[in-house]
Protein backbone atom coordinates (compact mmCIF):
# COMPACT_ATOMS: atom_id res chain seq x y z
CA UNK A 1 0.00 0.00 0.00
CA UNK A 2 1.49 3.32 -1.13
CA UNK A 3 0.55 5.95 1.47
CA UNK A 4 1.27 9.67 1.27
CA UNK A 5 0.80 11.87 4.32
CA UNK A 6 0.12 15.59 4.58
CA UNK A 7 0.90 17.03 8.00
CA UNK A 8 -0.61 20.46 8.57
CA UNK A 9 1.11 22.63 11.14
CA UNK A 10 -1.47 24.67 13.04
CA UNK A 11 -0.39 28.18 13.89
CA UNK A 12 -3.16 30.72 13.57
CA UNK A 13 -3.26 32.10 17.11
CA UNK A 14 -1.93 31.74 20.62
CA UNK A 15 -2.72 28.71 22.72
CA UNK A 16 -6.11 29.11 24.32
CA UNK A 17 -7.38 31.49 21.66
CA UNK A 18 -10.01 30.26 19.25
CA UNK A 19 -8.91 29.65 15.69
CA UNK A 20 -11.15 29.44 12.66
CA UNK A 21 -13.66 26.67 13.09
CA UNK A 22 -13.18 23.61 10.91
CA UNK A 23 -16.47 24.43 9.20
CA UNK A 24 -14.91 27.56 7.66
CA UNK A 25 -12.26 25.43 6.04
CA UNK A 26 -13.95 22.25 5.01
CA UNK A 27 -17.67 22.92 5.21
CA UNK A 28 -17.68 20.32 7.96
CA UNK A 29 -19.88 21.14 10.98
CA UNK A 30 -17.41 20.57 13.81
CA UNK A 31 -16.92 22.83 16.85
CA UNK A 32 -14.41 25.68 16.82
CA UNK A 33 -10.93 24.48 17.71
CA UNK A 34 -8.00 26.03 19.43
CA UNK A 35 -4.93 26.80 17.39
CA UNK A 36 -1.48 26.20 18.74
CA UNK A 37 1.06 28.96 19.16
CA UNK A 38 3.36 28.83 22.14
CA UNK A 39 5.66 31.83 22.67
CA UNK A 40 4.66 32.92 19.14
CA UNK A 41 5.87 29.63 17.66
CA UNK A 42 3.61 26.85 16.38
CA UNK A 43 3.67 24.14 19.02
CA UNK A 44 4.61 21.62 16.32
CA UNK A 45 8.01 23.33 16.04
CA UNK A 46 8.61 23.36 19.80
CA UNK A 47 11.20 20.95 21.14
CA UNK A 48 9.95 18.21 23.40
CA UNK A 49 12.72 16.37 25.23
CA UNK A 50 15.35 17.10 22.61
CA UNK A 51 13.41 17.00 19.36
CA UNK A 52 10.72 19.17 17.72
CA UNK A 53 7.27 17.67 17.99
CA UNK A 54 6.82 17.77 14.22
CA UNK A 55 9.96 15.71 13.64
CA UNK A 56 8.73 13.14 16.12
CA UNK A 57 5.35 12.88 14.36
CA UNK A 58 7.00 12.56 10.93
CA UNK A 59 9.34 9.84 12.22
CA UNK A 60 6.43 7.93 13.72
CA UNK A 61 4.55 8.09 10.42
CA UNK A 62 7.60 6.82 8.51
CA UNK A 63 8.13 4.02 11.02
CA UNK A 64 4.48 3.02 10.52
CA UNK A 65 5.01 2.52 6.81
CA UNK A 66 3.94 5.89 5.39
CA UNK A 67 5.97 6.32 2.19
CA UNK A 68 5.92 10.09 1.69
CA UNK A 69 5.36 12.90 4.15
CA UNK A 70 4.71 16.54 3.23
CA UNK A 71 4.25 19.35 5.72
CA UNK A 72 2.13 22.41 5.09
CA UNK A 73 2.41 25.23 7.59
CA UNK A 74 -0.60 27.41 8.21
CA UNK A 75 1.61 30.35 8.98
CA UNK A 76 5.03 30.40 10.59
CA UNK A 77 8.32 29.26 9.17
CA UNK A 78 10.85 27.11 10.91
CA UNK A 79 13.48 24.49 10.32
CA UNK A 80 12.03 21.05 9.77
CA UNK A 81 13.92 17.90 8.92
CA UNK A 82 13.02 14.36 7.84
CA UNK A 83 10.26 15.31 5.42
CA UNK A 84 9.90 15.13 1.66
CA UNK A 85 8.35 18.52 1.13
CA UNK A 86 7.70 21.61 3.22
CA UNK A 87 5.27 24.25 2.00
CA UNK A 88 5.33 27.50 3.94
CA UNK A 89 2.94 30.44 4.04
CA UNK A 90 0.95 31.52 1.00
CA UNK A 91 -2.55 30.29 0.38
CA UNK A 92 -3.05 27.20 2.48
CA UNK A 93 -5.64 25.51 0.29
CA UNK A 94 -3.83 26.08 -3.01
CA UNK A 95 -0.71 24.57 -1.39
CA UNK A 96 -2.82 21.67 -0.14
CA UNK A 97 -4.33 21.09 -3.60
CA UNK A 98 -0.86 21.20 -5.14
CA UNK A 99 0.54 18.56 -2.76
CA UNK A 100 -2.48 16.28 -3.28
CA UNK A 101 -2.05 16.64 -7.05
CA UNK A 102 1.61 15.60 -6.80
CA UNK A 103 0.74 12.59 -4.66
CA UNK A 104 -1.94 11.42 -7.09
CA UNK A 105 0.48 11.93 -9.98
CA UNK A 106 3.02 9.69 -8.20
CA UNK A 107 0.45 6.94 -7.77
CA UNK A 108 -0.31 7.26 -4.06
CA UNK A 109 -3.15 4.90 -3.05
CA UNK A 110 -4.11 6.43 0.27
CA UNK A 111 -3.80 9.90 1.69
CA UNK A 112 -3.24 10.34 5.41
CA UNK A 113 -4.14 13.85 6.59
CA UNK A 114 -2.82 14.90 9.98
CA UNK A 115 -3.21 18.28 11.69
CA UNK A 116 -0.69 19.20 14.38
CA UNK A 117 -2.43 20.66 16.42
CA UNK A 118 -3.25 18.07 18.89
CA UNK A 119 -0.62 15.41 19.54
CA UNK A 120 -2.01 11.96 18.82
CA UNK A 121 -0.33 8.58 18.92
CA UNK A 122 -2.31 6.45 16.54
CA UNK A 123 -1.60 2.93 15.32
CA UNK A 124 -1.42 3.64 11.58
CA UNK A 125 -1.51 -0.05 10.60
CA UNK A 126 -4.74 -0.63 12.52
CA UNK A 127 -6.15 2.59 11.09
CA UNK A 128 -5.35 1.48 7.51
CA UNK A 129 -6.77 -2.02 8.10
CA UNK A 130 -9.98 -0.55 9.54
CA UNK A 131 -10.29 1.83 6.61
CA UNK A 132 -9.79 -0.92 4.04
CA UNK A 133 -12.38 -3.10 5.75
CA UNK A 134 -14.92 -0.26 5.76
CA UNK A 135 -16.89 0.55 2.64
CA UNK A 136 -16.26 4.28 3.05
CA UNK A 137 -13.74 6.20 0.90
CA UNK A 138 -12.81 8.25 3.96
CA UNK A 139 -12.19 7.42 7.64
CA UNK A 140 -11.67 9.83 10.53
CA UNK A 141 -9.95 8.85 13.75
CA UNK A 142 -11.68 9.47 17.09
CA UNK A 143 -10.11 9.45 20.50
CA UNK A 144 -11.41 10.15 24.01
CA UNK A 145 -14.89 10.52 22.51
CA UNK A 146 -14.05 13.37 20.13
CA UNK A 147 -12.90 13.66 16.53
CA UNK A 148 -9.14 13.85 16.03
CA UNK A 149 -7.56 15.79 13.20
CA UNK A 150 -6.50 12.60 11.44
CA UNK A 151 -8.20 11.37 8.28
CA UNK A 152 -7.47 8.60 5.79
CA UNK A 153 -8.76 9.03 2.21
CA UNK A 154 -8.75 6.72 -0.81
CA UNK A 155 -6.76 8.46 -3.52
CA UNK A 156 -9.08 7.07 -6.20
CA UNK A 157 -12.01 8.95 -4.70
CA UNK A 158 -10.21 12.24 -5.45
CA UNK A 159 -9.20 11.34 -9.02
CA UNK A 160 -11.15 12.51 -12.05
CA UNK A 161 -13.27 15.19 -10.41
CA UNK A 162 -14.06 18.53 -12.05
CA UNK A 163 -13.59 20.67 -8.94
CA UNK A 164 -10.60 21.27 -6.66
CA UNK A 165 -9.37 18.45 -4.42
CA UNK A 166 -10.48 20.48 -1.45
CA UNK A 167 -14.09 20.52 -2.70
CA UNK A 168 -14.00 16.82 -3.49
CA UNK A 169 -12.65 16.15 -0.01
CA UNK A 170 -15.44 18.24 1.54
CA UNK A 171 -18.02 16.25 -0.42
CA UNK A 172 -16.63 12.97 0.94
CA UNK A 173 -16.50 14.01 4.60
CA UNK A 174 -20.17 13.39 5.48
CA UNK A 175 -19.72 9.75 4.40
CA UNK A 176 -16.74 9.09 6.64
CA UNK A 177 -16.28 5.99 8.77
CA UNK A 178 -15.28 6.41 12.43
CA UNK A 179 -12.13 4.74 13.74
CA UNK A 180 -11.79 4.63 17.53
CA UNK A 181 -8.15 5.12 18.48
CA UNK A 182 -6.96 3.86 21.86
CA UNK A 183 -3.66 5.75 21.66
CA UNK A 184 -2.39 8.71 23.63
CA UNK A 185 -4.07 12.06 22.89
CA UNK A 186 -3.05 15.52 24.05
CA UNK A 187 -5.09 18.43 22.69
CA UNK A 188 -2.20 20.89 23.17
CA UNK A 189 -4.77 23.65 23.36
CA UNK A 190 -3.32 25.31 26.46
CA UNK A 191 0.23 25.86 27.74
CA UNK A 192 -0.42 23.37 30.56
CA UNK A 193 -1.17 20.72 27.92
CA UNK A 194 2.32 21.22 26.52
CA UNK A 195 3.76 20.89 30.00
CA UNK A 196 1.75 17.69 30.48
CA UNK A 197 3.12 16.30 27.23
CA UNK A 198 6.68 16.81 28.46
CA UNK A 199 5.85 15.26 31.84
CA UNK A 200 4.14 12.32 30.15
CA UNK A 201 7.20 11.80 27.96
CA UNK A 202 9.47 11.71 31.00
CA UNK A 203 7.19 9.46 33.02
CA UNK A 204 6.60 7.06 30.13
CA UNK A 205 2.88 7.82 29.78
CA UNK A 206 3.31 8.41 26.03
CA UNK A 207 5.69 7.18 23.35
CA UNK A 208 7.89 10.30 23.39
CA UNK A 209 11.40 9.31 24.41
CA UNK A 210 14.00 11.82 25.58
CA UNK A 211 16.87 12.29 23.11
CA UNK A 212 20.01 11.44 25.03
CA UNK A 213 21.32 8.96 27.55
CA UNK A 214 19.69 7.86 30.74
CA UNK A 215 22.67 8.34 33.03
CA UNK A 216 20.77 7.07 36.06
CA UNK A 217 17.13 6.04 36.49
CA UNK A 218 14.95 8.88 35.23
CA UNK A 219 17.81 11.32 34.59
CA UNK A 220 18.39 11.98 30.90
CA UNK A 221 21.26 13.98 29.48
CA UNK A 222 21.65 15.10 25.86
CA UNK A 223 25.03 15.11 24.13
CA UNK A 224 27.58 17.51 25.64
CA UNK A 225 25.22 18.45 28.47
CA UNK A 226 27.31 19.80 31.35
CA UNK A 227 25.92 19.35 34.84
CA UNK A 228 28.01 20.57 37.74
CA UNK A 229 28.77 17.81 40.23
CA UNK A 230 27.24 19.94 43.00
CA UNK A 231 23.95 20.27 41.12
CA UNK A 232 21.11 17.99 42.16
CA UNK A 233 18.90 16.32 39.55
CA UNK A 234 15.80 14.64 40.97
CA UNK A 235 14.56 12.29 38.24
CA UNK A 236 12.67 12.04 36.08
CA UNK A 237 14.24 15.13 34.50
CA UNK A 238 15.84 15.98 31.17
CA UNK A 239 18.86 18.15 30.38
CA UNK A 240 19.28 18.63 26.63
CA UNK A 241 22.30 18.73 24.35
CA UNK A 242 24.86 21.45 25.06
CA UNK A 243 22.87 22.65 28.05
CA UNK A 244 24.66 23.72 31.22
CA UNK A 245 23.47 23.36 34.79
CA UNK A 246 25.56 25.24 37.34
CA UNK A 247 26.66 24.44 40.88
CA UNK A 248 24.02 24.01 43.60
CA UNK A 249 21.15 23.99 41.11
CA UNK A 250 18.18 21.73 41.80
CA UNK A 251 16.23 20.35 38.84
CA UNK A 252 13.09 18.45 39.82
CA UNK A 253 9.40 17.81 39.18
CA UNK A 254 9.62 16.23 35.70
CA UNK A 255 11.35 19.33 34.36
CA UNK A 256 13.02 19.58 30.99
CA UNK A 257 15.95 21.86 30.18
CA UNK A 258 16.17 21.83 26.40
CA UNK A 259 19.13 22.21 24.08
CA UNK A 260 21.62 25.01 24.67
CA UNK A 261 20.04 26.29 27.89
CA UNK A 262 22.02 27.59 30.81
CA UNK A 263 20.82 27.39 34.39
CA UNK A 264 23.14 29.50 36.49
CA UNK A 265 24.43 28.63 39.95
CA UNK A 266 22.02 28.12 42.83
CA UNK A 267 18.81 28.19 40.81
CA UNK A 268 16.04 25.67 41.24
CA UNK A 269 13.77 24.50 38.45
CA UNK A 270 10.65 22.61 39.49
CA UNK A 271 7.85 21.39 37.20
CA UNK A 272 9.09 23.52 34.31
CA UNK A 273 9.82 23.27 30.62
CA UNK A 274 12.75 25.46 29.67
CA UNK A 275 12.80 26.00 25.92
CA UNK A 276 16.01 25.83 23.84
CA UNK A 277 18.54 28.62 24.23
CA UNK A 278 17.20 30.05 27.48
CA UNK A 279 19.34 31.51 30.23
CA UNK A 280 18.08 31.27 33.82
CA UNK A 281 20.01 33.61 36.11
CA UNK A 282 21.66 32.92 39.45
CA UNK A 283 19.77 31.97 42.57
CA UNK A 284 16.32 32.00 41.03
CA UNK A 285 13.41 29.72 41.78
CA UNK A 286 11.37 28.82 38.70
CA UNK A 287 8.33 26.69 39.43
CA UNK A 288 5.30 25.50 37.44
CA UNK A 289 6.20 27.45 34.34
CA UNK A 290 7.25 27.42 30.72
CA UNK A 291 10.31 29.54 30.03
CA UNK A 292 11.50 30.64 26.61
CA UNK A 293 14.08 33.32 25.87
CA UNK A 294 13.13 36.35 27.93
CA UNK A 295 9.59 35.15 28.59
CA UNK A 296 8.08 33.09 31.36
CA UNK A 297 4.58 31.68 31.30
CA UNK A 298 3.31 31.00 34.81
CA UNK A 299 1.03 27.97 34.83
CA UNK A 300 -0.23 28.96 38.28
CA UNK A 301 -1.30 32.50 37.34
CA UNK A 302 -1.88 31.80 33.65
CA UNK A 303 0.09 34.87 32.58
CA UNK A 304 3.15 35.55 30.47
CA UNK A 305 5.84 37.75 31.99
CA UNK A 306 8.49 39.36 29.78
CA UNK A 307 11.89 40.16 31.27
CA UNK A 308 13.98 43.11 30.19
CA UNK A 309 16.81 42.22 32.55
CA UNK A 310 19.28 39.71 31.14
CA UNK A 311 20.45 38.71 34.61
CA UNK A 312 17.09 37.15 35.40
CA UNK A 313 15.76 35.30 32.37
CA UNK A 314 16.98 35.80 28.81
CA UNK A 315 18.07 33.97 25.71
CA UNK A 316 21.54 32.47 26.09
CA UNK A 317 22.69 34.55 23.13
CA UNK A 318 21.56 37.78 24.83
CA UNK A 319 23.19 36.88 28.15
CA UNK A 320 26.47 36.01 26.38
CA UNK A 321 26.36 39.33 24.49
CA UNK A 322 25.94 41.13 27.79
CA UNK A 323 28.87 39.31 29.38
CA UNK A 324 31.03 40.16 26.35
CA UNK A 325 30.07 43.83 26.32
CA UNK A 326 30.58 44.14 30.09
CA UNK A 327 33.99 42.52 29.79
CA UNK A 328 34.96 44.88 26.97
CA UNK A 329 33.80 47.90 28.95
CA UNK A 330 35.89 46.92 31.96
CA UNK A 331 38.91 45.72 30.00
CA UNK A 332 39.57 49.14 28.44
CA UNK A 333 40.22 51.05 31.70
CA UNK A 334 42.08 48.05 33.06
CA UNK A 335 44.83 48.66 30.51
CA UNK A 336 45.83 51.79 32.40
CA UNK A 337 44.78 50.85 35.89
CA UNK A 338 45.91 48.11 38.17
CA UNK A 339 43.27 45.72 39.47
CA UNK A 340 43.63 47.15 42.97
CA UNK A 341 43.05 50.71 41.84
CA UNK A 342 40.05 49.68 39.78
CA UNK A 343 38.39 47.77 42.59
CA UNK A 344 39.14 50.67 44.93
CA UNK A 345 37.32 53.06 42.56
CA UNK A 346 34.44 50.70 42.17
CA UNK A 347 34.11 50.46 45.96
CA UNK A 348 34.06 54.25 46.18
CA UNK A 349 31.37 54.47 43.52
CA UNK A 350 29.35 51.81 45.29
CA UNK A 351 29.78 53.64 48.58
CA UNK A 352 28.72 56.98 47.02
CA UNK A 353 25.66 55.41 45.43
CA UNK A 354 24.55 53.79 48.65
CA UNK A 355 25.18 57.00 50.64
CA UNK A 356 23.32 59.12 48.13
CA UNK A 357 20.25 56.94 47.93
CA UNK A 358 20.15 55.31 51.27
CA UNK A 359 21.89 57.43 53.74
CA UNK B 1 2.74 50.43 66.63
CA UNK B 2 0.87 53.56 65.58
CA UNK B 3 -1.39 52.96 62.58
CA UNK B 4 -1.50 56.72 61.82
CA UNK B 5 2.15 56.70 60.74
CA UNK B 6 1.37 54.20 58.01
CA UNK B 7 2.14 55.36 54.47
CA UNK B 8 1.20 53.77 51.22
CA UNK B 9 3.51 54.13 48.23
CA UNK B 10 2.37 53.18 44.77
CA UNK B 11 5.02 51.89 42.40
CA UNK B 12 4.86 52.63 38.65
CA UNK B 13 4.28 50.13 35.86
CA UNK B 14 7.95 49.50 35.18
CA UNK B 15 10.02 49.11 38.33
CA UNK B 16 13.43 49.89 36.87
CA UNK B 17 16.39 51.57 38.55
CA UNK B 18 14.89 55.04 38.00
CA UNK B 19 11.59 54.13 39.63
CA UNK B 20 13.44 52.40 42.46
CA UNK B 21 15.37 55.65 43.07
CA UNK B 22 12.09 57.56 43.21
CA UNK B 23 10.91 55.00 45.70
CA UNK B 24 14.11 55.44 47.71
CA UNK B 25 13.66 59.22 47.92
CA UNK B 26 10.06 58.76 49.10
CA UNK B 27 11.19 56.24 51.71
CA UNK B 28 13.75 58.76 52.98
CA UNK B 29 10.99 61.08 54.23
CA UNK B 30 9.39 58.15 56.02
CA UNK B 31 12.60 57.46 57.89
CA UNK B 32 12.13 60.58 59.96
CA UNK B 33 9.32 58.86 61.85
CA UNK B 34 9.98 56.30 64.53
CA UNK B 35 9.01 52.77 63.60
CA UNK B 36 7.89 53.76 60.13
CA UNK B 37 5.31 51.63 58.42
CA UNK B 38 5.22 51.58 54.64
CA UNK B 39 2.79 49.64 52.51
CA UNK B 40 4.08 49.30 48.98
CA UNK B 41 1.38 49.01 46.36
CA UNK B 42 2.61 46.90 43.47
CA UNK B 43 -0.75 46.55 41.74
CA UNK B 44 0.34 48.28 38.53
CA UNK B 45 3.78 46.78 38.21
CA UNK B 46 4.35 44.84 35.01
CA UNK B 47 8.12 44.70 34.79
CA UNK B 48 10.86 44.64 37.40
CA UNK B 49 14.57 44.46 36.71
CA UNK B 50 17.24 43.03 39.00
CA UNK B 51 18.92 46.36 39.76
CA UNK B 52 15.59 47.78 40.89
CA UNK B 53 14.95 44.75 43.08
CA UNK B 54 18.34 45.22 44.69
CA UNK B 55 17.76 48.91 45.39
CA UNK B 56 14.21 48.18 46.52
CA UNK B 57 15.50 45.58 48.96
CA UNK B 58 18.12 47.95 50.34
CA UNK B 59 15.46 50.63 50.92
CA UNK B 60 13.36 48.14 52.76
CA UNK B 61 16.30 47.06 54.89
CA UNK B 62 16.86 50.70 55.76
CA UNK B 63 13.28 50.96 57.02
CA UNK B 64 13.74 47.73 58.93
CA UNK B 65 16.82 49.14 60.66
CA UNK B 66 14.59 51.94 62.00
CA UNK B 67 12.42 49.20 63.53
CA UNK B 68 9.85 49.91 60.86
CA UNK B 69 7.92 47.56 58.66
CA UNK B 70 7.48 47.36 54.93
CA UNK B 71 4.66 45.27 53.55
CA UNK B 72 3.76 44.57 49.98
CA UNK B 73 0.17 44.89 48.89
CA UNK B 74 -1.94 44.81 45.74
CA UNK B 75 0.53 42.57 43.98
CA UNK B 76 0.01 42.35 40.25
CA UNK B 77 0.42 38.79 38.92
CA UNK B 78 3.58 39.92 37.13
CA UNK B 79 5.09 41.38 40.31
CA UNK B 80 4.15 38.28 42.30
CA UNK B 81 5.77 36.07 39.66
CA UNK B 82 9.01 38.07 39.70
CA UNK B 83 9.12 38.15 43.52
CA UNK B 84 8.67 34.39 43.62
CA UNK B 85 11.28 33.94 40.92
CA UNK B 86 13.83 35.94 42.91
CA UNK B 87 12.70 34.30 46.19
CA UNK B 88 11.84 37.70 47.66
CA UNK B 89 8.37 36.39 48.45
CA UNK B 90 9.95 34.57 51.39
CA UNK B 91 11.05 37.81 52.99
CA UNK B 92 7.84 39.84 52.85
CA UNK B 93 4.28 39.32 53.90
CA UNK B 94 2.19 40.06 50.84
CA UNK B 95 -1.43 41.10 50.70
CA UNK B 96 -3.73 41.16 47.73
CA UNK B 97 -4.99 44.76 48.02
CA UNK B 98 -3.80 47.94 49.75
CA UNK B 99 -6.98 48.29 51.84
CA UNK B 100 -6.92 44.61 52.74
CA UNK B 101 -3.46 45.07 54.19
CA UNK B 102 -4.86 47.13 57.09
CA UNK B 103 -6.44 44.35 59.15
CA UNK B 104 -3.32 42.26 58.63
CA UNK B 105 -1.28 45.15 59.91
CA UNK B 106 -3.44 45.56 63.00
CA UNK B 107 -3.28 41.84 63.68
CA UNK B 108 -0.19 40.26 65.25
CA UNK B 109 2.73 40.39 62.84
CA UNK B 110 2.85 37.52 60.36
CA UNK B 111 6.08 38.45 58.65
CA UNK B 112 9.64 38.51 59.85
CA UNK B 113 10.21 41.13 62.61
CA UNK B 114 12.37 44.03 61.48
CA UNK B 115 15.43 43.21 63.55
CA UNK B 116 15.39 39.57 62.51
CA UNK B 117 15.08 40.66 58.90
CA UNK B 118 18.21 42.79 59.20
CA UNK B 119 20.11 40.02 61.01
CA UNK B 120 18.91 37.47 58.47
CA UNK B 121 20.07 39.66 55.57
CA UNK B 122 23.43 40.50 57.24
CA UNK B 123 24.06 36.81 57.88
CA UNK B 124 23.27 35.98 54.25
Q: Which residue of A has its CA nearest to B47?
A: A307
Preceding peptide of A236 cis, ω within 30°: yes
Answer whether B38's CB lies under 8 Å from B7's CB.
yes
In terms of average pLDDT, the best of A15-19, B84-88, B98-102 is B84-88
Q: Would an 8 Å CB–CB cutoff place B18 in contact with chain A?
A: no
Mean pLDDT of B44-49: 85
Contacting residues of A for B30, CB less than 8 Å apart: none
What confidence tens digit (pLDDT) does each residue in A168-180 have?
Answer: 888 888 889 999 9
What confidence tens digit (pLDDT) does each residue in A337-355 have?
Answer: 332 333 333 334 334 334 4
Give chain B's end-to-end CA distance (angstroms, integer): 28
Residues written for chain A: 359
To which H or E segment does residue A285 belong? strand A285-292
Closest CA to A219 of A248, A255, A186, A271: A255
* A78: Cα within 13 Å, side-chain hemisphere: 23
Q: Percent of chain A scored above 90 by pLDDT?
A: 53
Mean pLDDT of B96-108: 48
Mean pLDDT of B58-87: 83
DSSP string of A28-86?
------B--EETTEEGGGSEETTEEHHHHHHHHHHHTT--EEEEEESS------S-SEE
How distant is the Cα of B93 from the closest Cα of chain A, in angstroms? Answer: 18
- Range in A3-17, A208-222, B56-70 with the lowest mean pLDDT: A3-17
Q: What is the pLDDT of residue A318?
A: 61
pTM: 0.78
What confidence tens digit (pLDDT) does each residue in A130-149 have?
Answer: 999 998 999 999 988 889 98
In this complex, which of B24, B55, B78 lies closest to A305 when CB atoms are compared?
B78
- Range in A75-79, A85-89, A276-280 with the lowest mean pLDDT: A75-79
In this complex, which of A285, A303, A308 lies closest to B85 when CB atoms are compared?
A285
In this complex, which of B58, B62, B87 lies closest to A285 when CB atoms are compared?
B87
Answer whether A88's CB lies under 8 Å from A101's CB.
no
Answer whether A49's CB lies under 8 Å from A238's CB.
yes
- Checking if the pLDDT of A84 tops 50, the result is yes
**Comparison of pLDDT for B88 and A345, the residue scoring more:** B88
Mean pLDDT of B83-92: 84
Closest CA to B10 of B54, B75, B92: B75
Q: Rounded to whole angstroms, how far apart are CA atoms A14 and A188?
A: 11
- Checking if the pLDDT of B92 tops 80, the result is no
- Checking if the pLDDT of A28 tops 80, the result is no
Determine, for residues A358 and B62 on separate chains, whether the beta-carbon distance falls below 8 Å. Answer: yes
Amino acid sequence: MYIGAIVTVAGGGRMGEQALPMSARTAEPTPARNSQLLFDTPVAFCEVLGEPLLNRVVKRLRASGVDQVSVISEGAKDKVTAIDQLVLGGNFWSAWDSVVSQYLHHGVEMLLLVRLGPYVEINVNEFVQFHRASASPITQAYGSGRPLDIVLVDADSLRGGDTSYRNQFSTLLPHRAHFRSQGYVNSLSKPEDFRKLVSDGLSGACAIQPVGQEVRPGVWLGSNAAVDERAHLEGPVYVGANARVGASCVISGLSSIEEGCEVDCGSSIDDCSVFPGTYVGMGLHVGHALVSGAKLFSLVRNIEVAFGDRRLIASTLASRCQVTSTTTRFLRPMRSLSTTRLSSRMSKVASLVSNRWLG
Amino acid sequence: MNIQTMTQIKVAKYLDTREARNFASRIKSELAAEEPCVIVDLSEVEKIDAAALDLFLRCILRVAKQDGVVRLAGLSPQAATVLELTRMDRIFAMFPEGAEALPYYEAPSVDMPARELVQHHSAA
